[in-house]
Amino acid sequence: MAATATSTAGAGVTTAVRIGNCSGFYGDRISAMREMLTGGDLDFLTGDYLAELTMLILGRDRMKNPERGYAKTFLRQLEECLGLAQDRNVRIVANAGGLNPAGLAAGIRELADRLGLDVSVAHVEGDDLLARAGELGLGSPLTANAYLGAWGIVDCLNAGADVVVTGRVTDASVIVGPAAAHFGWSTTDYDRLAGAVLAGHVIECGTQATGGNYAFFTEVPDLTYPGFPLAEIHADGSSVITKHPGTGGQVSVGTVTAQLLYEITGARYANPDVTARVDSITLADDGPDRVRITGAVGEPPPPTLKVSLNEIGGFRNSVTFVLTGLDIEAKAELLQRQLDNVLAVRPAEMHWTLARTDHPDADTEETASALLHCTVRDADPAKVGRAFTGAGIELALASYPGFHVTAPPGEGQVYGVYTAGYVDAAEVPHLAVHPDGTRTDIAPATQTQPLAPAAEPELSEPLPTGRTRRVPLGQIAGGRSGDKGGSANIGLWVRTDAQWRWLAHTLTVERLRELLPETAELGVTRALLPNLRAVNFVIDDILGRGVAYNARFDPQAKGLAEWLRGRHLDIPEELL
């Protein structure tokens, strides 16, 4: 497969390295690996298989079988594609190792032997801190994994590995590693590393960079089957985001902006190897389905590493009651009072939500109906099992008119709780295990800088004056949102300088709380990103104790930005 690059930055390799992506999550399109290998030229193919929720899923998988704990679909993809990658001289880097990268590496070697292929496989480990969780003050979780950086991957590639699998590295690291190895970057090439981090952040979520989940999706020429993205990264850290010719979807300044805003915390985007300044970069069209990212500024990384902690929180169950027609509020009040009265033992948590999906004078029964959700949680599965759901069903002939539910009674299900911990980077081993079994310790960063919010730029330009029209914010603003543990982010961007001045002046934290009443009592921080004509909000604790806790209607906050875009504001007509 591909020869190992050992040149130094700016003194050897100067041609761009082409790094593709074939997975944005565990469960993504299974055919994407083959499509990326056959659709055009690549030097490296990467995949991101891990999310906060995925680590919980893999943790439960490992409880059933200690030899598992990795993304099994990755092996399925390799069974079809490992020989293809070898024929095309493409090296593969993925974090599919999850909680057991050594086990996955062994599985790949067995697969290669069965296929009659001579493939060098390496892996990166050290992120799993479960055995030391108590010692490190992390409690007694089910999983405890530190986010490692890219240098273990670099070391494995420099040792000649054709395939490198890791445990919990940051999502961008699977892209940063190949770029740093290709160009021979040093650990203090911060601007170059920052550029690779931001390129990696764009492509690591797969088709979200090519039109998927895009606010202005009706502008994408063909979103029926979008292609996966790739980054052409240059020696100076600049990059071009593109996709293979003839594939669906679109790469535009808009789609790249949307993905840059996904799940960030502000102008500083911290990784274990570098803190990338999101506010430093400039985007420009570089031809059809090509967007150039330049100007990345990097700073030393924080002195601590984030640790993903998952634990079993207890058992959860829910029942959804359908309320149709008249007197919705009164029907809901009656049902809640009755269920409170008949439950022999009340669960530790009992949460009611009334979704007013009903319309007056509706022409279908469904649009005449509201949904009353009751969610319960308890450490005792008996309290949230049929003792709960059965009590609700027993009211069927004794409650509000039109009583019915959306599903039959059922038992409770285990739910998880996510928290983020932080440990000194020097406390976390980072090990590169070469194809020959040699183990190399990767030293932590020697220069560090505590993470702090960037200063907000001054807004001195005057606001537009004149007539306004009350319309949805989404008429001028795109958006993307996502989960960050129990918190969520919303990134909004506009397309002109005049729209940006209005957005930055108008969409303050106070206005956000007015538009999204659910955030009124929560901590909210705002960051302005003028180069992207964007504003980013982080909303603390809106997701409760993480995605698996399922605290709200949209537990991963994927639709939060679309809700905000649907709210109406008085927008100057000259901006519409």
In the 3-class helix/strand/coil scheme, how is 472-521 assigned residue by residue? EHHHCCEEEEEEECCEEEEEEECCCHHHHHHHHHHCCHHHHHHHCHHHCC
| 3-class DSSP assignment, residue 292 | strand
How far is Cα 567 from Cα 516, in angstroms, rounded to an integer?
8
Q: Which of 411, 430, 458 is the endpoint of a domain?
A: 411
Domain boundary among 393, 411, 429: 411
pLDDT for 12 equals: 60
Examine the domain organization and report whether 381 and 287 are in the same domain. Answer: no
- 208: its two tokens: 């979200």
State which H helix or E strand residue 349 sits in: strand 349-355
Q: What pLDDT score was predicted for residue 554?
A: 87
- Say yes or no: 139 and 285 in one domain: yes
Is the residue at 452 inside a domain?
Answer: no
Decide which of 390, 411, 432 is a domain's last residue. Answer: 411
For residue 68, the model assigns a pLDDT of 92
Q: What is the mean pLDDT of residues 82-104?
A: 98
Same domain, 285 and 370: no
Q: Which of 172, 137, 134, 135 is nearest to 153 (CA)?
A: 172
- Residue 547 in domain: yes
How much is the pLDDT for 344?
86
**50 and 142 share one domain:** yes
Asked if pLDDT for residue 7 goes beyond 50, the answer is: no
What is the distance between the alpha carbons of residues 173 and 151, in angstroms, rounded to a whole number?
Answer: 9
Please give the share of the chain, as a percent, with pLDDT higher than 70. 98
Domain membership flag for residue 371: yes
The pLDDT-based confidence of 449 (bands split at 50, 70, 90) is very high
Query: Is residue 329, in this structure, part of any structural domain at all?
Result: yes
Long-range contacts of range 285-289, CB-CB < 8 Å, 24 or more positions apart?
285/252, 285/253, 286/240, 289/242, 289/243, 289/250, 289/251, 289/252
Alpha-carbon distance of 376 to 396, in angstroms, equals 19
- In this structure, what is the dihedral angle of CA atoms 133, 137, 141, 147, given to the nearest 10 degrees? -70
Instruction: Please name the residues in contact with 212: beta carbons below 8 A apart, sequence gap of 6 or more.
Output: 206, 223, 226, 249
Q: Is 347 a domain residue? A: yes
Mean pLDDT to the nearest integer, 465-481: 95
Instruction: Give 117-168 pLDDT, tens digit per residue.
Output: 999 999 999 999 999 999 999 999 999 999 999 999 999 999 999 999 999 9
Residues 133 and 228 in one domain: yes
- N- to C-terminal Cα separation, the chain: 53
Instruction: Please determine, for residue 8, whether its predicted confidence score (pLDDT) is greater than 50.
Output: no
Q: Please give the helix or strand (H or E) that residue 565 lies within, else none.
A: helix 560-566
**What would the pLDDT profile of 484-521 be if each residue is shown by its tens digit?**
888 999 999 999 999 999 999 999 999 999 999 999 99
Residues 244 and 340 in one domain: no
Q: Which tens digit of pLDDT belongs to each residue from 237-256?
A: 999 999 999 999 999 999 99
Instruction: Please compute the mean of the pLDDT values over residues 476-481 and round it to a whole number.
Output: 98
- Beta bridge pairs of residue 51: none
Reported as a pLDDT band with limits 50, 70 and 90, residue 10 is: very low
* DSSP bridge partners of 319: 374
Is residue 438 classed exposed, middle or buried when 0-12, 13-18 and 19+ CB atoms within 10 A define those classes? exposed
Buried b (16+ CB within 10 A) or exposed e, 9-28: beeebeebbbbbbbbbbbeb
Q: Residue 457: is its pLDDT beyond 90? A: no
| Average pLDDT score over the chain | 94
Element containing residue 400 per DSSP (H, E): none
**Confidence at residue 485, expressed as pLDDT on a 0 to 100 scale:** 86
Cα–Cα distance, 547 to 57 (Å, whole number): 12
Q: Is residue 37 part of a domain?
A: yes
Say whether pLDDT at 419 is over 70: yes
Residues of the chain with pLDDT > 90, as a percent, come to 89
Q: What are phi and psi of 426, to 5 degrees?
A: -70, -15
> For helices 328-342 and 386-393, what crossing angle results, to 10°?
130
pLDDT (tens digit per residue) in 60-77: 899 899 989 999 999 999
Does residue 403 share a domain with residue 424?
no
Q: Residue 392: is its pLDDT beyond 60? A: yes
**Looking at the domain assignment, is residue 97 inside a domain?**
yes
What's the mean pLDDT in 76-85? 98
Q: Are residues 404 and 286 in the same domain?
A: no
Q: Which domain holds residue 405?
A: 314-411
Residue 12 inside a domain? The answer is no
Longest Cα–Cα distance in the chain: 81
Mean pLDDT of the 196-205 span = 98
pLDDT at 9: 42
pTM for the whole structure = 0.94
* Closest CA relative to residue 356, chosen from 308, 397, 322, 403: 322
Whether 426 and 369 have beta carbons less than 8 Å apart is answered as no
481 and 433 in a single domain? The answer is no
In this structure, what CATH number is given to the domain that contains residue 403? 3.30.70.600
Residues 75 and 174 grouped into a single domain: yes
C-beta of residue 311 within 8 angstroms of C-beta of residue 140? yes
Which residues neighbour 152 within 8 Å (Cβ) at sequence distance 6 or greater?
124, 126, 166, 169, 177, 430, 431, 432, 440, 442
Q: Does residue 181 share a domain with residue 318?
A: no
Name the domain count of the chain: 3
The per-residue pLDDT for range 18-53, each reduced to its tens digit, is 999 999 999 999 999 999 999 999 999 999 999 888
Examine the domain organization and report whether 277 and 156 are in the same domain. Answer: yes
